[in-house]
Chains A and B, each alone.
Chain A
Amino acid sequence: MGMTITEKILAAHAGKDIVEPGEIIDAGIDIALANDITAPLSLEEFDKVGAKKVFDSERVVFVLDHFTPNKDIISAGNCKKIREFSIKHGIKHCYEGGECGIEHALLPEQGLVVPGDIVIGADSHTCTYGALGAFATGMGSTDVTYGMVTGRIWLKVPESIKFHCFGKRQEWVTGKDLILYIIGMIGVDGALYAAMEFEGDAISALSMDSRFAIANMAIEAGGKNGIFKVDEKTLEYVKGRGKRSHTVYESDNDASYREVYEIDVNKIGLKVACPSLPSNVKDVGELKNIGIDQAVIGSCTNGRIEDLEIAAKILKDKKVAGHVRCIIIPATPTIYGEALKRGFFETFLEAGCIISPPTCGPCLGGHMGVLAKGERAIATTNRNFIGRMGHPESEVYLSGPAVAAASAIKGRIAHPEEV
């Protein structure tokens, strides 16, 4: 029996020829990651266990992206603690200030993750790196401390589910619409504990930015990881960035899957996930009477250049509706620079948008766009749980960048064809 790409990566890191779903393995890791919210707990555990050093100062990564630029005194204290730890232990990749971006856009961009890696991160959206053909999964701070200290982690080999996507995408449809469609189909626990493997000609046709958006939301279906085949687009992306050499793994034809879904992408239009679960997915056309107070275009899901390009195309020579705050958050300083250079900022400013520095900020109701009681946002983020962006009685609708930008102009949920 053959193995899936996930099984092959796990086997290689556990020093085994074969692994099977359900098996517990002790695997070496390539990167251990934490952010300004989760690293403080990791560092507390680091002290508690009496650790003296990290396993490799180039493979422990801190990104201070959630409550930064520091939103309050406690957040500032957390960042200070991480900074001091990083200096003491010679951590090479501690990103803050003007170098900081949203972690799951930043790590691939900086070449810190390469195909074939195992990455564990104290952030549930660590699964994003699966777009590179790596095994990446979110864990808690304590598990990440274990990884930071030993360079290893225990893992249960997941069963794999295949999503075979074929056909041609409709206009404006991006990876976000495909993953919302899939989560709507299988539910928020439809891939619980499983590896979600995406393949087919419709996947090959997607940009890397769209693939990151899909892998990013594997966790919203309960998935352990999302993963993609490495192709020429992946290799092109990694070329010139990768800080380490990479290994390409590929699923065998006779690999075993728990389920295989056949998805005709032709039939998937623009999607919106309604409150308060990412699986509550509807077609944008069904929601045209939903007024909004805020539109957020950014996050580890959709704050990349492709997303800003789509938003700029729609917002060009248009105005954001009078009462709406449209917040644009380029995910990294590099993306910020490119958007500036390509004239997107001029478009956004003329349309009346707010341009934020890279931060997770409003996605989790942290800062830079928190909602009041009764307010409603459309956001290109990944979660619409109760109170996610602010008050427990505020609401979040999730979409791709095209719908978010069109909605900002109309002041209600809108299809880009309407503007």
Chain B
Amino acid sequence: MKLKGRVWKFGNNIDTDIIIPAQYLAHTDPKVLGEHCMEPLHPGFNKMVKQGDIIVGGLNFGCGSSREHAPIAISAIGIPLVIAKTFARIFYRNAFNKGLALLEADMDEFVEEGEEIEVDISSGVIKCKKTVIQAKPIPPFMVELINHGGLVKYLKKKLEE
């Protein structure tokens, strides 16, 4: 799958309280969660982003709580992909379970805020203005899970058998 989108840069340790503050966690509606995505850093972020934009983070993206509201909020505002140097482990599982794509790559010095990049999610090749970056491959087990349509579809199939 190939994507093209504008870059929004975030730094290291972007935690789940930034991605979606806890005060909104009683909501499960993706639309409501999206309205508050990244609010502590960028109030009105949902209005600033365009469909297909890409988040680029640093180390330990998604650290903190286990709230699935975090990947749901990011997807809800039209962001299909987060690229970060490393991800916190619960966020990593949650994103795949919720259909938000993640790639691990150190992008910080190679991209600028707002530039358009082209990403081939399957191969992990990221084309930016300055250079081409190869993301770390998605672990084979995760690829298999994705090929099954994600954990929910996998479970559904299992229950139908």
Contacts and interface: CB of A to CB of B under 8 A. Distances in A.
Interface of A: 24, 37-38, 40-41, 44-45, 48-51, 66-67, 71-72, 74-75, 78, 121-124, 126, 138-143, 145-146, 149-150, 154, 156, 188-189, 192-193, 219, 222, 224, 277, 364-366, 370, 383, 385-388, 392
A89 to B, nearest CB: 15
Contact of A364 (B22, B155, B156): B22
B129 to A, nearest CB: 29
B160 to A, nearest CB: 7
Nearest to B155: A49
Specify which of A50, A123, A139 lies most central, judged by the most chain B CB atoms within 10 Å of its CB. A139
A224 B89 contact: yes
Contact of B89 (A37, A44, A50, A193): A193
B17 A141 contact: no
Contacts, number: 136
A123 B59 CA distance: 22
Contacts of B90: 124, 138-140, 219
Contacts of B152: 45, 48-49, 142, 145
Contacts of A124: 64-66, 90
Given A124-B90, A146-B155, A149-B159, A74 B26 contact: yes
Contacts of B64: 124, 383, 385
> Looking at chain B, what size class is its interface with the partner chain?
35 or more
A277 to B, nearest CB: 6
A275 B49 CA distance: 28
B78 interface: no
Interface string B16-30: 011001110111100
A24 B145 CA distance: 12
A140 B97 contact: yes
Interface of B: 13, 15, 17-18, 21-23, 25-28, 39-41, 59-60, 63-69, 86, 88-90, 93-94, 97-98, 141, 151-152, 155-156, 158-160
Nearest to B92: A193
A222 B60 contact: yes
A143 B63 contact: no
A340 B160 CA distance: 53
A142 B151 contact: yes
Nearest to A34: B66
Contacts of B28: 40-41, 44
A190 to B, nearest CB: 10
B63 A188 contact: yes
B100 to A, nearest CB: 11
A365 B22 contact: yes
A123 B65 contact: yes
B155 A150 contact: yes
A52 to B, nearest CB: 8
A142 B60 contact: no
A385 B38 CA distance: 13
Contact of A222 (B63, B66, B67): B63
B138 to A, nearest CB: 13
Contacts of A364: 17, 22, 25, 65
A72 B59 contact: no
Nearest to A73: B26
Contact of B94 (A142, A145, A193, A224): A142
Contacts of A188: 13, 60, 63
Nearest to A37: B25
26 contacts: A37-B25, A48-B156, A49-B155, A49-B159, A50-B160, A51-B159, A75-B26, A121-B66, A140-B90, A140-B97, A143-B94, A146-B155, A188-B63, A189-B63, A192-B86, A364-B22, A365-B17, A365-B22, A366-B23, A383-B15, A383-B17, A385-B18, A386-B17, A386-B40, A388-B17, A392-B41
A385 B64 CA distance: 9
Given A140-B93, A189-B88, A385 B17 contact: yes
B5 to A, nearest CB: 25
Given A188-B60, A386-B40, A38 B67 contact: yes
A142 B40 contact: no
Nearest to A43: B28
